[in-house]
Amino acid sequence: MVKTTVQVEGMMCGMCEAHVNDAVRKAFQVKKVNSSRSKGTTEILSEAELDTEALAKAITDTGYKVNGITSEPYEKKGIFG
């Protein structure tokens, strides 16, 4: 699994978060996507690394600005460690 974090500028409300989440889901098959207007981030969990150019385009096409994208391996931690 890969965790991708996108710095998104311009989200002002819950509907903004939903617009970004929907744009990501339409462009990619992802396990989970969660946007936070207060943090200015969108976090995405996927099986494989995402095309960052296509990801940035999907978000900017909805009217928001992408200020950066980072990816890192992700392992879900179990109850015992």
Whole-number Å distance between alpha carbons of 42 and 6: 5
pTM equals 0.91
3-class state of residue 80 by DSSP: coil
80: exposed, middle or buried (Cβ count in 10 Å: 0-12, 13-18, 19+): exposed
Note the pLDDT of residue 77.
72
Q: Render each residue's pLDDT in the chain as its tens digit; 81 residues.
A: 999 999 999 999 999 999 999 999 999 999 999 999 999 999 999 999 999 999 999 999 999 999 999 999 998 776 665
The residues pairing with 4 across neighbouring beta strands, listed in sequence order, are 44, 71
The conformational region for residue 79 under phi > 0 = left, psi -120 to 50 = alpha, else beta, is: alpha
